[in-house]
Amino acid sequence: MSTTGATADPLAALGELPGVAESVESVRKAVDRVYGHRIMRRRSNEITAEAALRGARGSAALSGADWALEEVRRRTDFSGDDEARLMGAALRLTAEAGQLLSIWRQSPLRVLARLHLVAAAGDDARVGRPRQDGEPVDEPLVELELPDAAEVSGRLEGLAELIIAGSSAPALVTAAVVHGELLALRPFGSHNGLVARTAERIVLVGSGLDPKSVCPAEVGHAELGRAAYVAALEGYVSGTPEGMAAWIAHCGRAVELGARESTAVCEALQRGAA
């Protein structure tokens, strides 16, 4: 992760980049619209469950399993081909995320290891630990240069220190940095995209921005498309102020689209109840 200058709170420094404050405000308004909907007062659990399903579908779509929502809803067996297993991994991660909120601020690396273990669902010795030099990485969406194991270890430790220390930065900034850093590093041998997007969700929920987890950024990332996602990530990896701001704005737009999705679900439920 790169910042615009040396500071005790580099995440807060990113929050001061041009355009970031506007993204933060736009996200807050979108989230507030969902939480202010009359349906949320009576049926928030249903909205949360639907957001989880749609978020998992969106995350899997970005990783190569672009299924129709009704197909995800209908399926009970996700042990078949590669796409089915990928979808199953996304659904497991979404379910697991809520169980890890209390651990994240104290031990983010433990949470990341757990997320990979849940996603990979195997007994391979590489599951649940950062990769070592020479070990392959299966992440076809991201073709950027792969950092070596020493860099991965150092940057993961640095990211963990930032999270544990806390920051005055807006939740969107922290979530975007966690997401971008994990995609840039690809610390595990597989499922890095799914893990990165789940970690983003954990930050957004745990920060209090989206406490009921009804604004699935994964939906927005999928809607914006794989090309835009990769292009924005390249901005993050560049480390330039403009690139970092563009990545944060991209993540903000994804949250807004997730909020819009859940607002539409609220409207549909309200029509059904009328």
- Nearest 5°: CA angle at 240, between 15 and 16? 15
**pLDDT at position 123, please?**
64
C-alpha atoms less than 13 angstroms from C-alpha of 113 in its C-beta half-sphere: 14
**pLDDT at position 163, please?**
96
**pLDDT at position 61, please?**
96
- Across the range 153-165, mean pLDDT stands at 96
Number of neighbouring beta carbons within 10 Å of residue 95: 12
Say whether pLDDT at 46 is over 90: yes
C-alpha atoms less than 13 angstroms from C-alpha of 167 in its C-beta half-sphere: 25
Where is average pLDDT lowest: 39-43, 200-204, 247-251? Answer: 39-43
Number of neighbouring beta carbons within 10 Å of residue 153: 16
Confidence of residue 1 (pLDDT cuts 50, 70, 90): low
**pLDDT at position 201, please?**
98
Greatest pairwise CA separation for the chain in angstroms: 60
- Across the range 105-112, mean pLDDT stands at 97
Whole-number Å distance between alpha carbons of 253 and 26: 8
Share above pLDDT 70 across residues of the chain, in percent, rounded to a whole number: 96
- Across the range 228-254, mean pLDDT stands at 97
pTM: 0.94
- Across the range 258-270, mean pLDDT stands at 96
Owner of token pair 């010795």: 125
Nearest to 54 by CA among 39, 42, 70: 70
What values do phi and psi take at 237, rounded to 5? -65, -30
Confidence of residue 5 (pLDDT cuts 50, 70, 90): very low
Q: Which amino acid is at 243?
A: G
- Across the range 2-6, mean pLDDT stands at 43
- Across the range 106-131, mean pLDDT stands at 91
Q: Which amino acid is at 17?
A: L
Q: Which amino acid is at 200?
A: E
**pLDDT at position 217, please?**
98
Say whether pLDDT at 4 is over 60: no
pLDDT tens figures, 237-249: 999 999 999 999 9
E strand intervals along the chain? none
**pLDDT at position 126, please?**
83
The winner for highest mean pLDDT among 98-107, 117-126, 134-143 is: 98-107
- Across the range 247-256, mean pLDDT stands at 98
C-alpha atoms less than 13 angstroms from C-alpha of 42 in its C-beta half-sphere: 6
